[in-house]
Amino acid sequence: MATKRQPPTRSCVICRSRRDKSDLLRIVRTPDGRVEFDETGKANGRGAYVCADESHWGDRGAFGKIRHSLQVQIDNSRFEALSNEVLSHLQTNQ
């Protein structure tokens, strides 16, 4: 009899809570160095997972934690654009 596999889990880089991978949003540093919101969760590159909690994006500490996790420098304007993209996605998918 086949055993049922556990769903993959990841930790939010901001609050460190563990959740199912499907419940988290993925931010990715692509191989060419761009930082993007990965709606599919399958884009190539180094990923950082964040809870689908709007309060995370209002926290300036999130900026540093995402930057540290992706091991990349992100300027303020790119982080603002990324935040707006994620917040728009959250509002669309409620």
The per-residue pLDDT for range 32-51, each reduced to its tens digit, is 999 999 999 999 999 999 99
* 0.75 exceeded by pTM: yes
| Residue-level pLDDT at 69 | 96
For the chain, domain boundaries: 9-92
What's the mean pLDDT in 23-35? Answer: 95
- Provide CATH code, domain 9-92: 3.30.1230.10
| Residue-level pLDDT at 78 | 92
The DSSP result for 51-85, as a single string, is: ES-HHHHH-HHHHHHHHHHHTS---HHHHHHHHHH
pLDDT-based confidence at residue 77 (cuts at 50, 70, 90): very high
| Residue-level pLDDT at 61 | 85
Dihedrals phi, psi of 75, to nearest 5 degrees: -80, 165
User: How far is residue 60's CA from residue 55's CA, in Å, rounded to a whole number?
Assistant: 10
